[in-house]
Structure 1
């Protein structure tokens, strides 16, 4: 997963605006959650994945195609970070008729990634 785009606001906008394909969006989340693929064993290394994810998803889930892992992502966002798309990026949401479950899941992933970025910044500031 070394060819991932940088985790920054531009990448978040690219996720929202569908400029990054679903596979890459999933890989970004997997990387942040600690999943890594071991080419030599042809298996996922989950040693760095938090137990609450590792137990339920021993292989990384597809967040764009499947609702349950996206719901888990949503629930893992701290309450104070639930509105980061609006607060930090000024995202006003999708227009009625222009979105479906896929766009909603991409927005959820984008918000989760923003929350992840914010938590990393706060941790590194300490």
Structure 2
């Protein structure tokens, strides 16, 4: 399990970075972990889940690697409210990947990006960057 890193702000520029693979997998995962409530305890060198919602804590006592785990990504997808399922398209104008680009790693990164956009929307986080690419 990786130690925490300094995370970029939760902005549309960060979301685009996840989609375009300019933000590494560790950062993408830790952005979601942070939003889910996983916290790193530097004294024990462990990730703690006390602030994580029970449905996540029970399924994933340790934060999952969403890029490598299909089941974790499916759970992430299912946790997006129906009205937020198309935020990548609605807010960013992202039309998806081309057929030749459709590989699990990229589609899981798109799921992470959409989940983070949904989180921004639900929490009323003010995005400081332009929504278009």
CA shift, 1:7, in A, is: 0.3
| Segment of structure 1 superposing worse, 66-75 or 37-46 | 37-46
Residue equivalent to 1:68: 71
SS in 2 for 1:55: helix
Distance in 1 (CA, whole Å) between partners of 2:78 and 2:119 is 13
CA distance in 2, matches of 1:56, 1:36: 16
TM-score normalised over the length of structure 2: 0.89
List gaps (5 residues or longer) in structure 2.
126-133
Shift of 1:93: 0.5
In structure 2, C-alpha distance between the alignment counterparts of 1:108 and 1:98, rounded to whole Å: 15
Tell me how far apart the structure 2 counterparts of residues 103 and 96 of structure 1 sit (CA, whole Å): 11
Please list every run of at least 4 consecutive aligned residues from structure 1 whose deviation after the TM superposition is greater than 2 angstroms. Answer: none
Aligned with residue 30 of structure 2, among 20, 27, 32? 27
Aligned alpha-carbon RMSD (Å)? 1.1
Name the structure 1 match of 2:46: 43
- 1:112 — aligned with what? 115
Q: Number of matched residues? A: 122
Residues 88 and 24 of structure 1: CA distance in aligned 2, closer, same or farther (over 3 Å): same
